[in-house]
Structure 1
């Protein structure tokens, strides 16, 4: 049984196969053709963390594939009353054909998958956000920024940074990460990414200087400084991240035609200036739409590999 919990479980060939499938499915959708790849299948969607894009994209996605989405918040499940995750997994996976979980701990996803009879997809954890990276890379392909890319990630060493580390180290491109001191990426995840990079030829650079990271980059990306669950740290984080906003001066350091990506929601004049966001709005909202198409491809791919 194949699951989609982190990109580190996937080869370069498999990642690109899913991207190619996403391109095909998106082209079909733009022509008004919705092939029922998952006809009459049910996707269970478990949300311990709420979301706009994740819920809409998965629910619409399974519908367009001919199936049905079942929204389940933690308040709707016995999980909220203390039922073990492994028992929830053994029950739900007997009743649905696939499960998406958006949660806090990566271990929650892994435990559910270990006891599940059906494929499990990560909608996000505190460690990784793999479906977002599939949408990001699909957008890079569409804008032809997948050809010898130099990606600069500026901001918090969080789940998005970790996912960029896995994508770069698997596909073999250059990734430069700049975080404030004290907000660096997880050391274990970095070690794993560097091991993959030795095989793929990826160049991974980690530092604390955003200008150095962005200089000459073809793709610049960032994320909110205050993620869900970190609201109590907001004032401290805003102070600690001073100098890390991607503004016009920062973007001027990148290549002239560099693209800017943001997984949203974006907080203007914190991690990104209003002017940079609006100048790259087409790229950002293409990226947001591509969550729909990339996730449909992930679901179809997993269905095809149920017994592999």
Structure 2
């Protein structure tokens, strides 16, 4: 297959993005959501492969619908469809797919090194739709949601309650690159951010004039947050060794009382949600909740990512 002249950019970690890239994708997602992105079919003639080894509703649908809306074609693979299951190496799989696809969107919930192996070529863009350590496209969705609601990300005060999972790590890596942001995490003991991520995010916060705090108790919780965020306690593809883990997590449930000290806060959740566990139904279905707008923004943000990965410079907002 002759190489397409359009650029190939990979998004496997937020570390792959410059500060300018991060802001561009946030703003571009908001433009797609507002219907101001402009006409065009930047993926015309290109084929996106969507491979999900783990379950997905929002991310899989977002990238599938986004591809079609941008003029591309689509192939989908389930967890049992590729010869990876019969012993073919990741490297060989990537080499073959790159000769037939222009973009590969993949969720493995495993080591991102596998995606790095697929990205070791210059024909096919590789997009991380969730790995064990990081969920970069979720963070981009969240930034787009914040920008749409507040008109800015800079200076927001964000509280995250729950496990330091791949959604939390992506938020930490993203929010700490916006000046004035205060990102407070309250995570159960033994379930905090991975040390490497916490150290990286802390350095970024220092460099960008942001603040990152993580504590493992709900005591002395400050107020006046703009955003209260949680994710489900049982992350896709994982289990917890401690049979009593729910007792450890219980104090970190998002309840309506949190709004007594943050009356103007909006509520975000990456979904799916388990009402009565990480969040009460009163909050999730209440007037402060943007969770389902956030889910819709997943598609708009996916369109921004797809365009950035393969659009020609200057084409329909491409950089």
TM-score in terms of structure 1 length: 0.92
Count of paired positions: 304
Select the residue among 56, 64, 67 that pairs with 1:62: 67
2: CA distance, partners of 1:207 / 1:186: 13
1: CA distance, partners of 2:84 / 2:312: 29
2: CA distance, partners of 1:29 / 1:70: 28
Say whether residues 1:96 and 2:98 are aligned partners.
no
CA drift of 1:198 comes to 2.0
Partner of 1:218: 226
1: CA distance, partners of 2:302 / 2:29: 8
Select the residue among 76, 85, 89 that pairs with 1:71: 76
- Structure 1 gap segments, 5+ residues each: none
Say whether residues 1:228 and 2:236 are aligned partners.
yes
Select the residue among 114, 130, 139 that pairs with 2:136: 130
- Structure 2 gap segments, 5+ residues each: 1-7, 314-318
Q: How big is the alpha-carbon RMSD for the aligned residues of Structure 1 and Structure 2?
A: 2.1
Select the residue among 237, 241, 258 that pairs with 2:245: 237
In structure 2, the CA distance between the partners of 1:204 and 1:268, relative to structure 1 (3 Å rule), is same
Deviates further, 76-85 or 139-148: 139-148
TM-score in terms of structure 2 length: 0.89
CA drift of 1:9 comes to 2.1
Partner of 1:80: 85
CA drift of 1:284 comes to 0.8
CA drift of 1:165 comes to 0.8
Partner of 2:268: 261
Deviates further, 283-292 or 46-55: 46-55
- Equivalences for residues 266-285 of structure 1 within 5 A: 266-280=273-287, 283-285=290-292
CA displacement, residues 1-34 of structure 1 (integer Å, 9 cap, x when unaligned): 521111122122211111222222233389xx86
Partner of 1:169: 176
Partner of 2:207: 199
CA drift of 1:207 comes to 0.5
Partner of 2:115: 109
In structure 2, the CA distance between the partners of 1:77 and 1:201, relative to structure 1 (3 Å rule), is same
